[in-house]
Amino acid sequence: MVLEEVTKALSAKGLKITHQRIVVFKALLSSPLHPTAEQIYDGIKKDNPAISVATVYKTLETLVENQLINKVPTPEGTMRYDARIDNHNHIYISNTNEIMDYEDEELKGILAQYLSKKKFQNLHITDFKLQIKGEKIDPGKGINII
């Protein structure tokens, strides 16, 4: 199913469907993490030895430029990639170097209401994202949001 999604998304943007684009996009879609270009490269190089790390970077940039994926900058300045292009927030976990998606409709509503009351001049807000930074208390355990 992922292959069909990838080819359909590339075609919809008028992009040529190449082996490199399919492999890189599939790797990102299959990752529950927000990987770096190097992590994507490490995950695909065994089965795709002809694809270079430079090709991975170029492919990711093409996907970003065509709004098929998003770049997620970290507080440390590292660029990570996210296959989700919908409006959602992230939690940066600094002591384990993880990025986690964070969904909260109540918070989204509060922020939208707050911003709608502000009188911005010469600015039309089209999107907003909240970035939360923290540390895991026990790095060996997952995070549960109650």
Query: How far apart are the two ends of the chain, measured CA to CA in Å?
Result: 33
Domain boundaries, the chain: 2-82, 89-134
What is the reported pLDDT for 119?
85
Would you call 73 exposed, middle or buried from its count of C-beta atoms within 10 A (0-12, 13-18, 19+)?
exposed
User: Is the overall model pTM greater than 0.95, yes or no?
Assistant: no
Q: What is residue 24's predicted lDDT score, i.e. its pLDDT?
A: 97
Distance CA 34, CA 92 (A): 11
Q: How far apart are CA 129 and CA 88, in angstroms?
A: 6
Assign a CATH topology to domain 2-82: Arc Repressor Mutant, subunit A (1.10.10)
pLDDT of residue 125: 87
CA distance 4 to 59: 18
Q: Is 81 helix (H, G, I), strand (E, B) or coil?
A: strand
The pLDDT averaged over each successive group of 10 residues in the chain (146 residues) is 85 94 95 92 96 97 96 89 90 89 90 89 86 89 82
